[in-house]
Structure 1
Amino acid sequence: MVDPKFRHGCQQQHGGIILQPILCSISEAAKALGLGRSKTYELIAAGQLETVSIGRRRLIRIESVKAFAENLEV
């Protein structure tokens, strides 16, 4: 079951337009991948997850999280 606070599968409606989130926090990305924050920071340092900085916040591109998960070996 997905935590209701975790909004990545959700669509937000704003003025009649449905918006998909494009950035997420490091904690949210870690939850989405089933990893801890430390491992998520390791993936960022290794260049496997793409981040952007906005002010003092560091956010991960959701497309980067999806691409990482899709490229994992089974």
Structure 2
Amino acid sequence: MDSTAHVVHLVLTVEQAAERLGIGRTLMYSLISSGAVESVTIGRLRRIPADALIRYVESLRTGGEAA
């Protein structure tokens, strides 16, 4: 694999998801807890599917609640 290749992750850590949305960890955890952003458990790890962030932003654009 080319070392300059861009890796696209299917799932993100809470920190990665927060960074993509431009928000803090605490707010990201709040969005997960409220069900506004979908998350999954893989073993003992909490992960956010990358497409869940797209769905969340789309819901905001169509009048959904932020948190």
* Band the TM-score falls in, shorter-chain normalisation: 0.7 to 0.9
Higher relative helix content: 2
Give the structure 2 partner of residue 70 of structure 1. Answer: 58
Distance 1:58 1:25 in 2: 7
- With the length of structure 2 as denominator, give the TM-score of the two structures: 0.74
- Tell me how large the CA RMSD over aligned residues is: 1.7
Q: Percent identity?
A: 33
Q: Residues 1-74 of structure 1: matches in 2 within 5 Å?
A: 10=6, 12=7, 20-73=8-61
How many matched pairs? 57
Distance 2:33 2:45 in 1: 16
Higher relative strand content: 1
Q: Deviations over 1:31-55 (max 9, x none)?
A: 0000100000100011011111112
Distance 2:59 2:28 in 1: 16
SS at match of 1:45: helix
Large movers: runs of 4+ above 3 Å: none
Which consecutive residues of structure 2, in runs of 5 or more, have no partner in the other structure? 1-5
